[in-house]
Amino acid sequence: MKKHFPWKRLFLCLGLVSAVIVALAVHPSQAKVRDAGEMKDVLTAEQTRLSALDAQDVPTLEKIMADDVTYVHASGKVDTKASYLDAVRSGRLHYISWQPKSMQVRTLGKDAAVINGEYAVRVTDTRVQPQPFALDILILSVYARRDGRWQQIAWQSTRAVVATAQ
C-alpha cells in the first residue's frame, strides 16, 4: 500500500507556527517572558527530551512528546509521535550527541512557549543514510502545557548555512 505524505499534519504545523509568528508581530508585549520560572520549566523539558534522546529513553520521550506532535527533520522527513518513537526504539534513529549553540525561549500566556535556537547534532538515521552524520541545525520547537506539564507539540529544523568568505 502506498504511503501518502501527511500534508494535513504539515499544514497544521505550519499554521501553528504562523499563528505564533503573527501573535508575536501583532502583540510584541505578549512575547516578553512573563515568568522566569515558566521559561526555566520549558528549558528543563527540552533538556530532559535531549537527555532521553541520547539515552534512547522512549518512556520519557512518550511523556514529553504530545500525541499530536508534528516532527519535521532537517532532511525534510516528517514524523508523527508513533513513527518517531518507533524509529528511536528500533535503533534506526539514534542521536549520538546534541550540543546547544544558542537557545531562546518565549512564553505566550501561561500555556504556550516557543523555543528557537541552534544545535550541533551527531546522529545515525538509517531512514536517511546508513552512516552517522553531523550537522548544525536551526530549530523552532513549540511546547504547550497540558495536564500540568510541558509537552512538545511541534518541531521544525533546517540545516544551518555555513558562512563562506567572499
Residue 89 in any domain: the answer is: yes
Q: Which of 106, 104, 130 is nearest to 118 (CA)?
A: 104
At 53, which CATH number? 3.10.450.50
Please state the rounded mean pLDDT for residues 99-114. 93
Residue-wise pLDDT for 20-43, tens only, equals 454 444 444 444 445 688 899 999
Q: How many helices (H) and strands (E) does the chain have?
A: 4, 6
* Domain presence at residue 126: yes
Q: Is the pLDDT of residue 70 over 60?
A: yes
- Judged against a pLDDT cut of 70, whether residue 64 lies above it is answered with yes
Asked if residue 155 is part of any domain, the answer here is: yes
> Domain containing 14: what range?
7-159
Q: Residue 117 and residue 157: Cα distance in Å, rounded?
A: 10
How many structural domains compose the chain? 1
65-72 β-sheet, strand order: 78-79, 65-72, 149-159, 133-146, 112-125, 93-108
Task: Evaluate whether residue 68 is within a structural domain.
Answer: yes
Helix-, strand-, coil-residue percentages of the chain, each rounded to 5: 35, 40, 25
Question: Looking at the domain assignment, is residue 166 inside a domain?
Answer: no
40 within a domain of the structure (yes/no): yes
Pure H helices in 70-159: 81-90
pLDDT score for 1 = 54
Q: Is residue 2 part of a domain?
A: no
In this prediction, residue 63 carries a pLDDT of: 97
d(CA 166, CA 155): 33
Task: Express as a percent the part of the chain with pLDDT over 70.
Answer: 77
Specify if 42 maps to a domain.
yes
